[in-house]
Amino acid sequence: MAEITYREAVRRALVEEMRRDERVFIMGEEVGVWGGTYAVTRGLLDEFGEKRVRDTPISELVIAGAAVGAAMNGLRPVAEIMTVNFALLSLDAIVNHAAKVHYMFGGQFHCPMVLRTTAGWGQLSATHSQTFENYFAHVPGLKVIMPGTPKDAYGLLKSAIRDPDPVVFIEHTHLYRVRGEVPDEEFTLPIGRSEIKRPGRDVTVVAYSRMLQEALRAADELAKEGIECEVVDIPTLRPLDLEPIIRSFQKTYRAVLATEQWLGYGLDAEIAAQIYEHAFDYLDAPIRRVTARPVPLPYSRELEQMALPGKEEIKQAVLDVLR
């Protein structure tokens, strides 16, 4: 089993799926000659050529909309939107078209497309540092994946490409260099499965994407103090596999929900509502949420760090729910 980076895992999934299925192609800004803004698609143009690795104009709306049409008419597009901030310009094509064409025409058309994009930050200030997974996860008809490990990124992207439904696949720029074990033999992982990434008895910590890594680090440190966190990863945000979350909570009676979203109407609020609805009687302490501060992200390094959540906030929240 090789230890590879998250970036390599995504690239491996893309390459394997393109070799496997002639219908799979990539389109997006700078995916070809440049090799991908985050170097994910480097080398793909050489192997697959311009027909299948298509540089587009800076036209987020038609990138997403043309992917919908191409998917309806038999292809398996993997459309890349450079960052999820720019995906706001694609939103109509995703919400009003990708998510609708199957249902609204009575099941006559399918939309097997993947929209790959990134969350992340790094002194990029207000308009380049956001994370909008809840915008997409709110929409019936879409599937939304936000993997937190190389293995999940690989296995879930392959499943997303093969799935007959539209999938929004959000990578995290801070995870691209994270290394993890990915089996050498080809495999896929099922969409819509939550997973206990670290078992524990004291507090349930639900996290995904970069916050999964932060939660695992927090759990390591808390373990030295005798506190055992059960870290539940939700790499698929929609459809949500609720059962592992509820089962864990029924064991620990306490939960911390960690996300990079702003406080207010985020993924965390939905998870909390589901826990209240399904396991109210097990509640021993109010659920704590670890989120970004609800401000536009500032440029200054010091202010930016203050705005974003991480390992320390998770540790504090765990201690709070145990108090």
Does 119 engage in binding with another protein (CB under 8 A)? no
Which pair of structure tokens corresponds to residue 320?
A: 């709070």
CB of 113 to another protein, least distance (A): 9
| Part of the chain binding another protein (CB under 8 A), chosen from 173-181, 200-208, 242-250, 291-299 | 242-250
Which listed residue (143, 172, 254, 311) binds another protein by CB under 8 A? Answer: 143
Among 39, 46, 103, 177, indicate the residue that binds another protein (CB under 8 A).
103
Q: Which of 16, 30, 110, 128 is catalytic?
A: 128
196 binds another protein (CB under 8 A): no
Catalytic residue from among 8, 17, 29, 60: 60
Nearer to another protein among residue 104 and residue 295 (C-beta) = 104
Cis peptide bond upstream of 57, omega within 30: no
Spatial strand order of the sheet with 53-55 comes to: 53-55, 24-28, 76-80, 114-119, 167-172, 143-145, 236-238
Q: Is 72 in the site for another protein (CB under 8 A)?
A: yes
Using rule CB under 8 A, residue 165 touches another protein: yes
What's the maximum distance between 2 C-alpha atoms anywhere in the chain?
59
Task: Kindly tell me the burial class for residue 249, based on how many C-beta atoms sit within 10 Å of its own C-beta (0-12, 13-18, 19 or more).
Answer: buried
Please tell me the distance from the alpha carbon of residue 198 to that of residue 44, in angstroms, as a whole number: 35
Q: Which residue has the tokens 């993890």?
A: 180
The nearer residue to another protein, 113 or 170, going by C-beta atoms, is: 113
By CB under 8 A, which span of 12-20, 55-63, 200-208, 295-303 interacts with another protein? 55-63
Q: Does 2 bind another protein (CB under 8 A)?
A: no
**Which listed range, 11-19, 137-145, 212-220, 259-267, lies at the site for another protein (CB under 8 A)?**
137-145
Binding mask 290-319 for another protein (x = CB under 8 A): ------------------------------
Beta bridge partners of 233: 195, 207
In the residue annotation, 60 being an active-site residue is answered as yes
Q: From the CB of 104, what's the least distance to another protein, in Å? A: 5
Q: Which part of the chain contacts another protein (CB under 8 A), choosing from 29-37, 48-56, 204-212, 296-304?
A: 48-56
CB atoms within 10 A of CB 240: 17
Tell me, yes or no, if 17 is annotated catalytic: no
**Residues 174 to 193 in contact with another protein, rule: CB under 8 A:** 191-192
- The residue among 216 and 237 lying less far from another protein, judged by its C-beta, is 237
Q: Which of residues 10-39 bind another protein (CB under 8 A)?
A: 25
**What is the binding site for another protein (CB under 8 A)?**
25, 51, 54, 56-57, 59, 61-62, 64-75, 77, 89, 92-93, 96-97, 101-110, 112, 140-141, 143, 163-165, 191-192, 238-243, 246, 274, 277-278
Which residues belong to the active site? Answer: 60, 128
